[in-house]
Amino acid sequence: MIPVSFILNGKPVRCEVPAEETLVDTIRNRFRLTGTKKGCGTGDCGSCTVLLDGTAVRSCTLLTGMVEGRSVTTIEGVGTMDHLHPVQQAFVDVNAIQCGYCIPGMVLTAIALLRENPDPTEEEIRLAISGNLCRCTGYQKIVEAIQLAAERMRTTGEEAAR
């Protein structure tokens, strides 16, 4: 077992994990943050996406020991029930959610994109989410949601990640 200390959704946390444990398992099983989904477990579907120091990464291919001292944001750390993040609100407003399994990863990928590129083209949005698979194939609505979020955030000046 190795000790790991990191920032999880803005709060310092510490745990002891086997060296081979991946971050998705640590997040879900030790911290009970089950918004992060484990789909393939092999880095192919994007459902386990979290933000690592603001960058979208796949937590199923990242060893927990590698996040020592770093900042991890899961979907639970984005918005609140009373005040959704603009990306979350846009997904709701355009009905971009079907089963919802891919949505946490999609939202976090979109937040990372909009932080880097507040005014992405449709092609850039599609490229950004190309590693996030939606089994319900709701891509058109998801793209529309990200476009709406980008437009609203440019209008209000709201930051991509808060």
Question: Which residues contact ligand FES by CB under 6 A?
Answer: 38-41, 43-48, 58, 60, 97-103, 134-136, 138
In the complex, the smallest distance separating the C-beta of residue 8 from ligand FES, rounded to whole angstroms, is 18
Of 13 and 136, CB closest to ligand FES = 136
Cα distance between residue 43 and residue 61, in whole Å: 6
* The total number of residues written for the chain in this structure: 162
Determine the straight-line distance between the first and last CA of the chain, rounded to whole angstroms: 33
What one-letter code names the amino acid at 102? Answer: C
Which residue lies nearer to ligand FES by CB, 20 or 82? 20
Q: How far is the CB of 77 from ligand FES (least distance, A)?
A: 18
Closest distance of CB 1 from ligand FES, Å: 23
The least distance separating ligand FES from the CB of residue 25, rounded to whole angstroms, comes to: 10
Judged by CB, which is closer to ligand FES: 87, or 134? 134
Distance CA 102, CA 147 (A): 18
